[in-house]
Amino acid sequence: MTTDGPEIAAGSDGVLTAADEEADVETITFAEWRRARPFAGAVLLVAGGLLVAWPSLQVVLSTQPYDAYPTSSLGTVVGAGIVFVGVAALLRPERARELGVLGLVLASVSFLVAFGGYLIGMLIASAGGILCFAWRPTEEYERLILDEESDKET
């Protein structure tokens, strides 16, 4: 459905004000948001971290607290750390290089403490760390950052 006149949107209380009509809100689509971040690397880090943590977490949950091997709980902690690094790469794309290196280090450590989630989790997390390390900001991302900085100055 198309309208011939200007678009009118109600405020939070349902009453239109002059400020609501004049507000020029720029919306960003998911595709634009995704392109401005190391999305593939972050998703692979999260998936790899879950694969590393899952077998260790099952061992920890299925045994008594004093019967579980210490390396089982370390595997869960390392897997959670890899997931955290993946989420941080999505939220802080300007730190993607450092987070990619940290993801690679944690994936390597996961081999020692959790057999890398049967090696599959380690390989997936390593690929995600490499993609985060290799990611460069797009022109869209730089434009968005420059727009935000100019808005803060005014």
Specify if 25 maps to a domain: no
Q: What is the pLDDT of residues 15-66, one digit of tens each?
A: 655 555 555 567 888 888 888 899 999 999 999 999 999 988 888 888 776 6
Cβ(57)–Cβ(78) below 8 Å: no
Hey, how many other C-beta atoms are within 10 angstroms of the C-beta on 116?
26
What is the 3-state secondary structure of 43-61? HHHHHHHHHHHHHHHHHHH
Q: What is the Cα–Cα distance from 101 to 152, expressed in whole angstroms?
A: 31
Q: pLDDT at position 140, please? A: 67
What's the total number of domains in the chain? 1
Q: Is the pLDDT of residue 10 over 90?
A: no
Q: Is the dihedral of CA 139, 141, 147, 152 positive or negative?
A: negative
Q: What is the Cα–Cα distance from 119 to 134, expressed in whole angstroms?
A: 23
Specify if 145 maps to a domain: no
pTM here?
Answer: 0.74
Q: pLDDT at position 154, please? A: 65
Specify if 53 maps to a domain: yes
35 three-state secondary structure? helix
Q: What is the pLDDT of residues 61-77, one digit of tens each?
A: 887 766 667 767 888 99
Q: Is the pLDDT of residue 81 over 60?
A: yes
Domain ranges, residue 90: 37-136
Q: What is the mean pLDDT of residues 96-103?
A: 96
